């Protein structure tokens, strides 16, 4: 991963500007937007490339989680778009991080850490920062 992009992503995750959510890059709730960890990277991309990014709202009506709809980046709502993958110097749409689980070190996707394991943005930021030269 591009280390400068990693630093920007880590700073954004720690900024307190973003509310964390699951299963989508960005959702709209009555209290405002919320993002998964990958959605925060998409926001960093848009900030750094204001003329090259596309963020579009898809209203769906309120669902059982109080979500009124979602935003998509380029054409993606749940995984990183090609443009963000390339810009960030990643090898995959869902980057892998080393995590110690049950006394074993395993490679896990960031969406798994965010959505299934409930890792906070701060915890994900710590992992990215420690592994930024090797984030896959």
Q: Are 24 and 36 in contact (CB under 8 A)?
A: yes
Given a cut of 90, is residue 96 above it in pLDDT? yes
Given a cut of 60, is residue 55 above it in pLDDT? yes
- Least confident residue range of 30-34, 61-65, 128-132: 61-65
Task: Examine residue 57 and state whether it is found in any structural domain, yes or no.
Answer: yes
pLDDT per position as a tens digit, 72-87: 777 777 889 989 999 9
Task: Examine residue 136 and state whether it is found in any structural domain, yes or no.
Answer: no
Residue 121: which domain range?
3-131
Q: Which two tokens stand for residue 1?
A: 């991963």
User: Shortest CA distance to 28 belongs to which of 64, 59, 50?
Assistant: 59
Average pLDDT, stretch 90-98? 93
Separation CA 45–CA 39 (nearest Å): 10
- Count the domains in the chain: 1
Task: Examine residue 49 and state whether it is found in any structural domain, yes or no.
Answer: yes
pTM score: 0.89
């Amino acid at each position: 991963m591009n280390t400068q992009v990693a630093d920007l992503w880590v700073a954004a995750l720690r900024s307190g500007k973003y509310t964390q959510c699951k299963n989508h890059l960005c959702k709209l709730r009555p209290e405002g937007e919320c993002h998964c960890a990958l959605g925060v990277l998409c926001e960093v991309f848009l900030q750094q490339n204001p003329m090259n990014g596309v963020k579009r709202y898809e209203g769906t009506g309120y669902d059982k989680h109080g979500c009124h709809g979602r935003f998509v980046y380029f054409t993606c709502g749940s995984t990183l778009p090609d443009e963000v993958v390339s810009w960030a110097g990643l090898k995959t749409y869902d980057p892998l991080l080393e995590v110690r689980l049950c006394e074993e070190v395993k490679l896990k996707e960031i969406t798994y850490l965010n959505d299934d394991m409930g890792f906070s943005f701060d915890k994900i930021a710590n992992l990215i920062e420690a592994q930024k030269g090797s984030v896959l």
